[in-house]
Structure 1
Amino acid sequence: MNNSNPIKQFALLSLGVYILSYGFPFPLDNIPFTHEVFSKYVLSLQEKYILFFGKSFLGLPELEKIQRTGSGDTTFDYVKIPALMTFSFLVAIGLFSLKKVRIHAVDFYQLILIYARYYVGLTLISYGIAKFLIGQFPGPSFYSMDILVGDISPMGLAWRFFGYSDTYKIFMGLSELIAGFLLLFRRTAILGALVAISVCLNIVLVNFSFDVPVKLFSSHLLFFSILILLPGAKALFDFLILHKPSKLELMSPLFTSKKWKTAWVIVNIYLVGVIPLSRMYGHYSSQEFRAMENEWEGLYTGFENEAASPWTKIIVEKNYLVLKPEEGTQDFYTILEIKEGGMVLLKNTEDEDNPHELSIKALPTQQYELKIRIGEKENTLVGSKKSVSDYQLTKRGFHWINEYPFNR
């Protein structure tokens, strides 16, 4: 199939428009101020189009875009796929009707593959950076270790499994960083695509196997990685499978004139250097809140006169507090400040301007006295404290030699 084949030209135009429309507003979303002056208006049009498509063509009159759900697999996200496919098909028809555009379909698609390389590469770099910091896969916490395994969601189980081992998190992070950076450079793009396919395939399998609501996005990262690899697939097949001499074609430079090469170098420095550094700084700047030092961390329980206590367990950990009754709803509070003498200031979403108070004092009996003031109500509890080292999960550690497996 040669480059003048009309079916190939139309397919490349349609696929290219889809990749571009799915990835937007990347990379503009990494440039300061562009969201307010441009991106948000285009995103608003895209949202209105997807809602119109879902309501008018898919028969979903109640369709809406739910903001900040933390899920990438909402109904809106599923409708987005056929909506963008239809949009890409219609745009491709318009482009195909223009002969001057149609004859450059292959060149257009090559540009889109470069766009896909940066899109997947910088996404994986961002994922990789997160693995080295507190956030995506937190380690064992009092709250997570106090929950029965049978009460954990599949996603919660996966997150706790990955979060247990810093070594495994570093391995995952390095894999994503290596794949991401290899994709950013023309000479290593095919190798980067191979590594990215392995990394993204694992992500996709985890998301589908443990019901993690990032199935659509991770599947697109895998799909784009496969597309990036395809130009070199025949040479790799000849060499690895048929054991025939083969040679990967080096991707041609995007620009040849000195003026445009200089401009592309500047853009590339921003994409390859500034954006990864800014994402690294963004992740790092969030650590101060996530990794708050808290000398009073622990699971407080076994309260004297427990029948009169509104809670059976109190969890104090880093930047939050959980009040757990024997039955009913748990109450979560954010720790605003830890003062000297065990005074802790708390808030929740309903009392932003009126902090509550928790006072903790160690008693000579190796128990702890907790005085809690929530609004106008105050409770004084005396109980014991469980530390991280008291859990089998955290004190077991690593053993080179195991005469018998410790599997309980």
Structure 2
Amino acid sequence: MTAPSPAAPSPTAQPDDYATEKRLARTAAVTLGWWAHGAVRLLLAVAMLYYGVAKLVLGQFGVTDMGDALITHGEMSPMGTLWRLMAFSPLFQFLAGLAEFGAGLALLWRRSVALGATIAAGSMSLVLVLNIGYDVPVKQIATALLVMSLLVLIPWLPRLTAAFLGRGPIGRGPLPTLVPWRPLARITQIAGPLAALVLVGLVGWGVSSLYPERSVDETAPAGVWTVQEDAAAPAEQLSEDTRWSALAFGEVEYDGRAAVQLRRADGQLLTGTYVRTDEGTIELSLKPPREQGQTLQEHSALEPAELTLRIQEQADGTLHLTGEGQDLVLAPDESAMVLYERGFSWGVRPDDPFNR
């Protein structure tokens, strides 16, 4: 009895194996592509959340304060002009931060990735224009974030293009799939949003803790003041006159310290901070503003002048300032307070248009 001959190979076995291998290779390539896409998306989301929270808490630009009132427009750097412009409008800061924060949130959920990347691209386009226009030294970061936003948008670009051009109905967009195996994918669909919420909380807490506690103290000496009387005699030449001509004390305190500026008769500006030590006594820390071409390290190394002064409010609204060789009477400078007291009005005022 002869042994049975082996079964002849099926003519379809080899093509089926090839099709399976091709399908697996395609799945692996698509999965790796989504993982690379997800890495860029995660980095972009963290960056957008970071900058968004920094603006929402009014930390990145701060708030306008009269302690910055004495610097003239010509003395400002382009970046300083932008920072003061942004600081003047908490509403603009908040809305800009809301757009960036919202983009970061949308990027963390796969069904809203296209929306988040679109908002991020629009926000970073504006930021890049501002950075270029006002010479802010983070142009490369803004450019990188804009490029990342466009990279994240690539899978949806054909549909977005069709939508903008109005070419018929728009089909359903792709859904990022990091795990092609369905049993595990069900777990990641639950764990992913939970991890995203934890990430949002950590970024929000971390960024908020970067900025010192802010408070407002409107009591004297907060305000802008000009020297009305000075017990010291003037110098023979104005260029040699180091007497004080004006002071600006801020009302917004960061960990108890507020901004202060001092203008001398010879024109020199000194900037720094002051703190109320007890009733009627203040301590000032002053140094010249940073010069063009001077590095941040060089300016930080300058030893500030530390002054302790006594402030006494008088019945006519003036301040008597003494200490450190000074005996001055300060009068409020109403003209220098227009920026801080003008406020907002829906209606037309008698002095409108007011553009100076």
Q: 2:62 aligns with which of 131, 135, 138?
A: 138
Matches within 5 A, 1:5-404: 107-255=31-179, 256=181, 262=187, 266=191, 269-270=194-195, 272-285=196-209, 288-291=212-215, 293=217, 295=219, 296-305=221-230, 307-308=233-234, 310-317=243-250, 318=253, 319-327=258-266, 329-335=268-274, 337-347=275-285, 356-373=307-324, 378-386=325-333, 391-402=337-348
Q: CA deviation at 1:392?
A: 2.5
Does the 8 A contact of 1:134 with 1:291 survive in 2?
no
Does the 8 A contact of 2:61 with 2:83 survive in 1?
yes
Q: CA deviation at 1:135?
A: 2.7
Does the 8 A contact of 1:126 with 1:276 survive in 2?
no
Cα gap change, 1:174 to 1:223, in 2 (>3 Å): same
Does the 8 A contact of 1:200 with 1:221 survive in 2?
yes
Q: CA deviation at 1:358?
A: 2.6
Cα gap change, 1:333 to 1:399, in 2 (>3 Å): closer
Task: State the Cα deviation string for residues 286-328 of structure 1 (Å, max 9, x = none).
Answer: 5554435362312232241265563222222232333332336
Does the 8 A contact of 2:224 with 2:336 survive in 1?
no
Does the 8 A contact of 1:232 with 1:248 survive in 2?
no
Which structure shows the higher helix fraction?
A: 1
User: How high is the TM-score relative to the length of structure 1?
Assistant: 0.64
Which entry has the higher C-alpha Rg, 1 or 2? 2
Cα gap change, 1:386 to 1:265, in 2 (>3 Å): farther
Q: Secondary structure at the match of 2:229?
A: coil
Does the 8 A contact of 2:66 with 2:337 survive in 1?
no
Distance across 1 between alignment mates of 2:217 and 2:333: 17
Q: CA deviation at 1:186?
A: 0.4
Question: Structure 2: which amino acid aligns with 1:301?
Answer: T
Cα gap change, 1:231 to 1:260, in 2 (>3 Å): closer
Question: Structure 2: which amino acid aligns with 1:326?
Answer: A
Higher relative contact order (CA 8 A, sep 6+): 2
Distance across 2 between alignment mates of 1:280 and 1:244: 41
Equivalent in the alignment of 2:18: none
Does the 8 A contact of 1:135 with 1:290 survive in 2?
no
Distance across 2 between alignment mates of 1:397 and 1:385: 19
Question: Structure 2: which amino acid aligns with 1:238?
Answer: A
Q: CA deviation at 1:332?
A: 3.7
Distance across 2 between alignment mates of 1:273 and 1:307: 66
Cα gap change, 1:399 to 1:355, in 2 (>3 Å): closer
Q: CA deviation at 1:192?
A: 0.9
Q: Secondary structure at the match of 2:61?
A: coil
- Aligned-pair RMSD on alpha carbons? 3.5
Q: Tell me the percent identity.
A: 26
User: How high is the TM-score relative to the length of structure 2?
Assistant: 0.72
Question: Structure 1: which amino acid aligns with 2:281?
Answer: M
Distance across 2 between alignment mates of 1:170 and 1:391: 24
| Deviates further, 197-206 or 101-110 | 101-110
Q: CA deviation at 1:115?
A: 1.6
Does the 8 A contact of 1:134 with 1:287 survive in 2?
no
Q: CA deviation at 1:228?
A: 0.6
Does the 8 A contact of 1:294 with 1:338 survive in 2?
no
Does the 8 A contact of 1:128 with 1:172 survive in 2?
yes
Does the 8 A contact of 2:280 with 2:311 survive in 1?
yes
Q: Secondary structure at the match of 1:291?
A: strand
List gaps (5 residues or longer) in structure 1. 1-100
Q: CA deviation at 1:215?
A: 0.5
Question: Structure 1: which amino acid aligns with 2:259?
Answer: Y
List gaps (5 residues or longer) in structure 2. 1-24, 235-241, 287-299
Question: Structure 1: which amino acid aligns with 2:131?
Answer: N
Task: State the Cα deviation string for residues 6-60 of structure 1 (Å, max 9, x = none).
Answer: xxxxxxxxxxxxxxxxxxxxxxxxxxxxxxxxxxxxxxxxxxxxxxxxxxxxxxx
Q: Secondary structure at the match of 1:108?
A: helix
